[in-house]
Amino acid sequence: MLFCSDKCEKFPCARLKNLDKRYRTKYKMSMLENLENIKKFEIKKFVKFEQKRWKCPKCGELLCVHRDSCLNCGEKR
Ligand SMILES: [Zn+2]
């Protein structure tokens, strides 16, 4: 699997940096961090790590990055 961080000589480009900044502020999630983690852990481990990270601590449902609380039980993330 290829990611823009593998191939693009402009990585991280201004567009990605802006998007990353917006997501970090608004949704507490970083694409640049994700791309670094994919490099560090390999994709399988990364996905496992993300599945744990985005699990609601209260009910165990998957959390939505665009919401600040669990869609299922309302627990804040
Ligand atoms: Zn929940």
Question: pLDDT (tens digit, 9 = 90+) per residue, 17-33?
Answer: 999 999 999 999 999 99
Q: Domain limits at 73?
A: 9-77
pLDDT digits (tens, 9 = 90+) for 41-61: 999 999 999 999 999 999 999
Spacing, Cα 8 to ligand 1 middle (Å):
38
Structural domains in the chain (count): 1
Spacing, Cα 72 to ligand 1 middle (Å):
5
2 in any annotated domain: no
| Distances 72 to 29, 33, 59 between C-alpha atoms, Å | 20, 27, 8
Spacing, Cα 49 to ligand 1 middle (Å):
18
16 in any annotated domain: yes
64 in any annotated domain: yes
3 in any annotated domain: no
Q: In angstroms, rounded to a whole number, what is the distance separating the alpha carbons of residues 23 and 60?
A: 23
74 in any annotated domain: yes
62 in any annotated domain: yes
43 in any annotated domain: yes
Report residues near ion ligand 1: CB below 5 Å.
Answer: 56, 58-59, 61, 70, 72-73, 75
72 in any annotated domain: yes
